[in-house]
Amino acid sequence: MEYKISDRVQTLKPSAIREIFKYAADPTVVSLSAGNPAPEAFPVKEVAEISARIMAERPVDVLQYGLTEGYLPLRQHLTAYMKEKHQVGRDFDDILITSGAQQVMDLTTKSLCNEGDVVICEAPSFIGSLNTFRSYNARLRGVPMESDGMDMNELERALKEEPRAKFIYTIPNFQNPSGITMSLEKRKQLYALAKQYGVMILEDNPYGDIRIKGEYIPCIKSMDEDGIVIYVGTFSKVISPGMRVGYAIAPKPLLQKLVVCKQGADVHTNMWSQIICHEFMTKYDYEAHLAHLRELYRVKSALALRKLDECLVPNKITYNPFEGGLFMWCTLPDGVDMPAFCKEAVLRKVCVVPGNAFLTDESEPCQSFRINYSTPTDEQLVRGIELLGQLAKDVL
- Per-residue pLDDT tens for 90-106? 999 999 999 999 999 99
Backbone torsion region of residue 149, taken as left when φ is above 0, otherwise alpha when ψ lies between -120 and 50, otherwise beta: left
Helix 72-86 / helix 271-283 crossing angle, nearest 10 deg = 50
pLDDT band at 11 (very low <50, low <70, confident <90, very high): low
Contacts of 221 (CB under 8 A, 6+ apart): 86, 88, 89, 203, 229, 231, 249
Residue 326 identity: L
Burial 54-91 (b: 16+ CB within 10 A, else e): beeeeeebbeeebebbbbeebbeebbebbeeebebbbe
What is the pLDDT, as a whole number, of residue 370?
97
- Its sign, for the CA torsion 94, 97, 102, 103, is negative
| Predicted confidence band of residue 24 (pLDDT cuts 50, 70, 90) | low
Specify the 3-state DSSP secondary structure of 41: helix
Picking from 11-25, 38-52, 330-344, which range would have the lowest pLDDT averaged per residue? 11-25
Helices (H), 268-364: 271-283, 286-311, 338-347
Average pLDDT over residues 183-189: 98
Q: Tell me the pLDDT tens digit for each residue of 189-228.
A: 999 999 999 999 999 999 999 999 999 999 999 999 999 9
Q: Are strands 165-170 and 200-204 parallel, antiparallel or unpaired?
A: parallel
pLDDT score at 54: 97
| Structural domains for the chain | 7-43+288-395 (3.90.1150.10), 57-283 (3.40.640.10)
Give the confidence band of 28 by pLDDT, cuts at 50, 70, 90: confident
Q: How many CA atoms lie within 13 A of 213 on its CB side?
A: 9
**Gap between the Cα atoms of 246 and 126, Å rounded:** 16
4 pLDDT band, cuts 50/70/90, is: confident
- Residue 101: closest CA among 129, 59, 140: 129
User: Which residues fall within 8 angstroms of residue 227, CB to CB, at 6 or more apart?
Assistant: 90, 92, 93, 251
Question: Residue 335 in contact with residue 325, Cβ under 8 Å?
Answer: no
Res 3: pLDDT? 72
> Which backbone phi and psi does 165 adopt, to 5 degrees?
-65, 130
Q: By C-alpha distance, which of 206, 247, 251, 248 is closest to 228?
A: 251
Rounded to whole angstroms, the Cα distance separating 334 from 169 reads 29
Helix/strand/coil percent split, the chain, to 5: 45, 15, 35
Q: Which residues of 232-242 are buried (b: 16+ CB within 10 A; e: fewer)?
A: bbbbbbbbbbe
Single-letter amino acid code for the residue at 85: K
- Residue 87's region, left for phi above 0, alpha for psi from -120 to 50, else beta, is left
What is the average pLDDT across 45-70? 97
Residue type for position 389? G
Q: Where are the alpha helices (DSSP H) in the chain?
A: 7-10, 16-24, 44-57, 59-63, 72-86, 101-112, 127-135, 152-161, 184-197, 252-263, 271-283, 286-311, 338-347, 378-395
Residue 77 confidence class, pLDDT cut points 50, 70, 90:
very high
DSSP letter for 50, please.
Answer: H
2 falls in which pLDDT band (50, 70, 90)?
Answer: confident
Q: Angle, to 10 degrees, between the axis of helix 271-283 and the axis of helix 286-311?
A: 100
Amino acid of residue 78 = L
> What's the pTM value of the predicted model, to 2 decimals?
0.95
- Quote the DSSP letter at residue 16: H
Q: How far apart are CA 144 and CA 122, in angstroms?
A: 6
Q: Measured between alpha carbons, how far apart are the two ends of the chain, in Å?
A: 49
On the question of pLDDT at 26 being above 90, the answer is: no
